[in-house]
Amino acid sequence: MRFIVFDLEATCDENHPGFDNEIIEIGAVQFEDKVRIGTFDSFIKPKVNPILTPFCKKLTSITQQDVDRADSFPTVLKKFLEWTGNHAVFCSWGFYDKKQMIKDCTRYGLNYNFIYNHISLKHQFHKVHIAHPVPSRGVGMEAALRMLNLPLIGTHHRGIDDAENIAKIFLKYYDSWIV
Protein backbone atom coordinates (compact mmCIF):
# COMPACT_ATOMS: atom_id res chain seq x y z
CA MET A 1 0.00 0.00 0.00
CA ARG A 2 1.30 3.46 -0.92
CA PHE A 3 1.28 6.11 1.81
CA ILE A 4 1.99 9.80 1.32
CA VAL A 5 2.91 11.51 4.59
CA PHE A 6 2.50 15.18 3.78
CA ASP A 7 2.45 18.61 5.33
CA LEU A 8 1.29 21.92 3.90
CA GLU A 9 2.34 25.43 4.73
CA ALA A 10 -0.01 28.26 3.89
CA THR A 11 -0.14 32.03 3.87
CA CYS A 12 -1.16 33.36 7.27
CA ASP A 13 -1.56 36.50 9.32
CA GLU A 14 -1.39 36.57 13.09
CA ASN A 15 -4.01 39.23 13.76
CA HIS A 16 -6.61 38.50 11.08
CA PRO A 17 -8.67 35.37 11.89
CA GLY A 18 -10.62 35.55 8.60
CA PHE A 19 -7.42 35.61 6.52
CA ASP A 20 -7.79 33.62 3.28
CA ASN A 21 -5.00 31.05 3.60
CA GLU A 22 -3.38 29.61 0.47
CA ILE A 23 -0.93 26.73 0.22
CA ILE A 24 2.64 27.96 -0.29
CA GLU A 25 4.51 24.68 0.26
CA ILE A 26 3.81 20.98 -0.16
CA GLY A 27 6.27 18.67 1.57
CA ALA A 28 5.81 14.90 1.45
CA VAL A 29 7.46 11.55 2.08
CA GLN A 30 6.27 8.54 0.09
CA PHE A 31 6.20 4.99 1.45
CA GLU A 32 5.33 1.66 -0.08
CA ASP A 33 4.19 -0.04 3.10
CA LYS A 34 7.14 0.66 5.45
CA VAL A 35 9.69 1.25 2.69
CA ARG A 36 10.59 4.86 2.06
CA ILE A 37 10.41 5.64 -1.66
CA GLY A 38 11.27 9.33 -1.81
CA THR A 39 10.34 12.92 -1.03
CA PHE A 40 8.54 15.80 -2.70
CA ASP A 41 8.97 19.45 -1.82
CA SER A 42 7.75 22.47 -3.72
CA PHE A 43 6.91 26.07 -2.99
CA ILE A 44 3.76 27.56 -4.52
CA LYS A 45 3.13 31.12 -5.68
CA PRO A 46 0.03 32.41 -3.85
CA LYS A 47 -2.69 34.13 -5.87
CA VAL A 48 -5.04 35.88 -3.41
CA ASN A 49 -2.40 37.14 -0.96
CA PRO A 50 0.79 37.16 -3.03
CA ILE A 51 2.80 39.14 -0.46
CA LEU A 52 3.72 37.07 2.59
CA THR A 53 3.06 38.73 5.93
CA PRO A 54 5.98 39.24 8.33
CA PHE A 55 4.26 36.72 10.65
CA CYS A 56 4.10 34.09 7.89
CA LYS A 57 7.75 34.56 6.94
CA LYS A 58 8.83 34.28 10.58
CA LEU A 59 6.63 31.24 11.31
CA THR A 60 7.55 29.23 8.21
CA SER A 61 10.99 30.62 7.32
CA ILE A 62 9.67 30.77 3.74
CA THR A 63 10.82 33.93 1.98
CA GLN A 64 9.02 36.17 -0.47
CA GLN A 65 11.62 35.18 -3.04
CA ASP A 66 10.82 31.47 -2.49
CA VAL A 67 7.16 31.96 -3.44
CA ASP A 68 7.80 34.59 -6.13
CA ARG A 69 9.98 32.07 -8.00
CA ALA A 70 7.51 29.22 -7.51
CA ASP A 71 4.94 27.74 -9.87
CA SER A 72 1.20 28.18 -9.44
CA PHE A 73 -0.89 25.80 -7.35
CA PRO A 74 -2.36 23.94 -10.38
CA THR A 75 1.14 23.32 -11.79
CA VAL A 76 2.58 22.11 -8.49
CA LEU A 77 -0.47 19.95 -7.70
CA LYS A 78 -0.14 18.24 -11.10
CA LYS A 79 3.53 17.43 -10.36
CA PHE A 80 2.63 16.27 -6.85
CA LEU A 81 -0.10 13.92 -8.08
CA GLU A 82 2.19 12.53 -10.79
CA TRP A 83 4.73 11.84 -8.04
CA THR A 84 2.18 10.19 -5.70
CA GLY A 85 0.70 7.94 -8.36
CA ASN A 86 -2.78 6.45 -8.13
CA HIS A 87 -4.43 4.86 -5.12
CA ALA A 88 -2.28 6.48 -2.44
CA VAL A 89 -3.38 6.95 1.16
CA PHE A 90 -2.64 10.54 2.24
CA CYS A 91 -1.55 11.01 5.86
CA SER A 92 -1.18 14.31 7.69
CA TRP A 93 -1.02 15.53 11.28
CA GLY A 94 -4.69 16.40 11.77
CA PHE A 95 -7.36 17.40 9.27
CA TYR A 96 -6.13 20.93 8.52
CA ASP A 97 -3.99 19.82 5.56
CA LYS A 98 -6.87 17.88 3.98
CA LYS A 99 -9.24 20.84 4.41
CA GLN A 100 -6.71 23.32 3.01
CA MET A 101 -6.02 21.05 0.02
CA ILE A 102 -9.76 20.88 -0.73
CA LYS A 103 -10.04 24.67 -0.33
CA ASP A 104 -7.21 25.38 -2.77
CA CYS A 105 -8.41 22.79 -5.29
CA THR A 106 -11.87 24.39 -5.14
CA ARG A 107 -10.34 27.85 -5.63
CA TYR A 108 -8.79 26.68 -8.91
CA GLY A 109 -11.63 24.38 -10.02
CA LEU A 110 -9.47 21.26 -9.62
CA ASN A 111 -10.58 17.75 -8.68
CA TYR A 112 -9.83 16.87 -5.07
CA ASN A 113 -11.20 13.34 -4.83
CA PHE A 114 -7.66 12.04 -4.27
CA ILE A 115 -7.53 13.58 -0.77
CA TYR A 116 -10.57 11.70 0.52
CA ASN A 117 -8.34 8.66 1.02
CA HIS A 118 -6.86 10.38 4.09
CA ILE A 119 -5.74 9.45 7.59
CA SER A 120 -5.26 11.98 10.39
CA LEU A 121 -2.18 10.58 12.11
CA LYS A 122 -2.79 13.02 14.97
CA HIS A 123 -6.13 11.35 15.74
CA GLN A 124 -4.71 7.87 15.17
CA PHE A 125 -1.86 8.71 17.55
CA HIS A 126 -4.43 9.61 20.18
CA LYS A 127 -6.16 6.24 19.72
CA VAL A 128 -3.05 4.06 19.82
CA HIS A 129 -0.72 5.89 22.19
CA ILE A 130 -1.56 4.33 25.53
CA ALA A 131 1.68 4.98 27.45
CA HIS A 132 0.83 8.62 28.17
CA PRO A 133 -2.52 10.35 28.53
CA VAL A 134 -3.28 12.50 25.48
CA PRO A 135 -5.49 15.61 25.64
CA SER A 136 -8.88 15.18 23.97
CA ARG A 137 -7.94 17.63 21.19
CA GLY A 138 -4.81 15.62 20.53
CA VAL A 139 -1.21 16.72 20.68
CA GLY A 140 0.89 18.70 18.28
CA MET A 141 3.50 17.00 16.17
CA GLU A 142 6.37 18.45 18.19
CA ALA A 143 4.82 17.22 21.47
CA ALA A 144 4.24 13.77 19.97
CA LEU A 145 7.90 13.56 18.98
CA ARG A 146 8.91 14.48 22.55
CA MET A 147 6.53 11.84 23.97
CA LEU A 148 8.25 9.25 21.76
CA ASN A 149 11.77 10.54 22.47
CA LEU A 150 12.24 11.26 18.78
CA PRO A 151 14.25 14.34 17.76
CA LEU A 152 12.67 17.18 15.82
CA ILE A 153 14.62 17.50 12.60
CA GLY A 154 14.83 20.57 10.43
CA THR A 155 12.68 23.66 10.87
CA HIS A 156 9.23 23.33 12.42
CA HIS A 157 6.55 24.81 10.11
CA ARG A 158 8.44 23.96 6.95
CA GLY A 159 6.47 21.49 4.86
CA ILE A 160 9.23 19.03 4.02
CA ASP A 161 10.73 19.07 7.52
CA ASP A 162 7.35 18.56 9.19
CA ALA A 163 6.58 15.75 6.72
CA GLU A 164 9.88 14.08 7.65
CA ASN A 165 9.05 14.38 11.36
CA ILE A 166 5.51 13.07 10.89
CA ALA A 167 6.99 10.19 8.87
CA LYS A 168 9.02 9.14 11.92
CA ILE A 169 5.81 8.89 13.96
CA PHE A 170 4.08 7.12 11.05
CA LEU A 171 6.80 4.44 10.98
CA LYS A 172 6.89 4.05 14.76
CA TYR A 173 3.20 3.12 14.85
CA TYR A 174 2.87 1.68 11.34
CA ASP A 175 1.29 -1.58 12.49
CA SER A 176 -1.22 0.25 14.69
CA TRP A 177 -2.71 2.72 12.20
CA ILE A 178 -6.34 2.11 11.32
CA VAL A 179 -6.59 2.36 7.54
E strand intervals along the chain: 2-10, 23-32, 35-43, 89-92, 118-120
Mean pLDDT over each residue of the chain, to the nearest integer: 94
Q: Range of 20's domain?
A: 2-176
Q: Is the pLDDT of residue 123 over 80?
A: yes
For the segment 33-50, what is each residue's pLDDT rounded down to a tens digit? 999 999 999 999 999 999
Q: Is the pLDDT of residue 179 over 90?
A: no
Structure confidence at residue 18 (pLDDT): 85
Structural domain count of the chain: 1
Structure confidence at residue 16 (pLDDT): 84
Domain containing residue 31: CATH number: 3.30.420.10
Q: How confident is the model at residue 17 (pLDDT cuts 50, 70, 90)?
A: confident
pTM equals 0.94
C-beta separation of 56 from 62 below 8 A: yes
Mean pLDDT of 18-43: 97
Distance between CA 107 and CA 48 in Å, rounded?
10
Specify the 3-state DSSP secondary structure of 130.
Answer: coil
Distance between start and end Cα atoms, the chain:
10
